[in-house]
Amino acid sequence: MNDRLYQKALEFATLAHAGQTRFTGEPFVDHAVAVAETLKSWQLDDNCVIAGLLHDTVENGGATREDILAEFGDDVTQIIDRVAKITAIHLKGSNQAEFVENLRKMILVMAADLRVVLVKLADRLHNMQSLSHLFGQAQAENARETLEIYAPLAERLGMGEIKGQLEDLAFPYVYPDEYHRLVSQTQKRYQEGSRLMQKFKKQLLVLLKPKLPKAQIDGRQKRLYSLWRKLQRPEIDGDLAKIYDLVAARVLVDTVEECYLVLGAIHSKWHPVPYLGVSDFIANPKPNGYRSIHTKIFGPEGQIVEVQIRSHQMHQQAEMGIAAHWNYAETKAGKITDRELETGQVRTPTKLTWVKQLASWQKELADSQEYFAALKFDALQHRNLVFSPIGDVYDLPAGATPVDYAFTVHTKLGTQAIGAKVNGKLVPLNHRLVNGDVVEILVDRNRTKPNRDWLSFVVTAAARHAISKSFKQ
Ligand code: MN
At 113-170, the pLDDT tens digits run 888 989 999 999 999 998 877 777 778 888 988 998 899 888 888 888 999 999 999 9
What integer is the mean pLDDT of 7-15? 97
Domain residue ranges of the chain, discontinuous segments joined by +: 3-88+114-171, 176-320, 334-472
Q: What is the pLDDT of residue 330?
A: 45
pLDDT of 73 over the 90 cut: yes
26 C-alpha vs ligand 1 centroid, how far in Å? 14
In the β-sheet with 304-311, what is the strand arrangement from edge to edge?
A: 216-221, 247-253, 304-311, 293-298, 278-280
What integer is the mean pLDDT of 431-439? 89
316 C-alpha vs ligand 1 centroid, how far in Å? 26
Mean residue pLDDT across the chain? 86
Q: What is the pLDDT of residue 338?
A: 52
32 C-alpha vs ligand 1 centroid, how far in Å? 7
56 C-alpha vs ligand 1 centroid, how far in Å? 6
121 C-alpha vs ligand 1 centroid, how far in Å? 10
- Containing 251, the helix (H) or strand (E) segment is strand 247-253
CATH architecture of 334-472: Roll (3.10)
3-state helix, strand, coil in the chain (%, to 5): 60, 10, 30
User: What CA–CA distance (Å, rounded) separates 150 from 163?
Assistant: 8
pLDDT of 366 over the 90 cut: no
Higher-scoring residue by pLDDT: 331, 398: 398
320 C-alpha vs ligand 1 centroid, how far in Å? 21
What integer is the mean pLDDT of 13-18? 95
pLDDT of 380 over the 70 cut: no
286 C-alpha vs ligand 1 centroid, how far in Å? 32
pLDDT of 267 over the 90 cut: yes
80 C-alpha vs ligand 1 centroid, how far in Å? 11
Q: What is the pLDDT of residue 368?
A: 62
- What homologous superfamily does CATH list for 176-320? Beta Polymerase, domain 2 (3.30.460.10)
Confidence class for position 229, pLDDT limits 50, 70, 90: very high
What integer is the mean pLDDT of 269-286? 90
Of 148, 142, 200, which is closest to residue 173 (Cα–Cα)?
Answer: 142
70 C-alpha vs ligand 1 centroid, how far in Å? 22
What integer is the mean pLDDT of 250-267? 96
pLDDT of 91 over the 80 cut: no
54 C-alpha vs ligand 1 centroid, how far in Å? 9
Confidence class for position 97, pLDDT limits 50, 70, 90: low
31 C-alpha vs ligand 1 centroid, how far in Å? 7
Percent of the chain surpassing pLDDT 70? 89
Higher-scoring residue by pLDDT: 258, 142: 258
What integer is the mean pLDDT of 241-255? 91
Contacts of 163 (CB under 8 A, 6+ apart): 151, 152, 154, 155
Q: What is the pLDDT of residue 102?
A: 77
123 C-alpha vs ligand 1 centroid, how far in Å? 5
354 C-alpha vs ligand 1 centroid, how far in Å? 24
- Phi, psi (deg, nearest 5) at residue 323: -65, -45
Contacts of 144 (CB under 8 A, 6+ apart): 92, 170, 173, 174
What integer is the mean pLDDT of 321-326? 70
Residues 290-299: pLDDT tens digits?
Answer: 899 999 999 9
Contacts of 423 (CB under 8 A, 6+ apart): 437, 438
124 C-alpha vs ligand 1 centroid, how far in Å? 7
Sort residue 301 into left (φ over 0), alpha (ψ -120 to 50) or beta.
left
What integer is the mean pLDDT of 227-249? 90
265 C-alpha vs ligand 1 centroid, how far in Å? 48
Higher-scoring residue by pLDDT: 70, 24: 70
Beta bridge partners of 396: 384
User: What CA–CA distance (Å, rounded) separates 311 from 252?
Assistant: 5
What integer is the mean pLDDT of 343-348? 50
Domain 3-88+114-171 has CATH 1.10.3210.10: yes
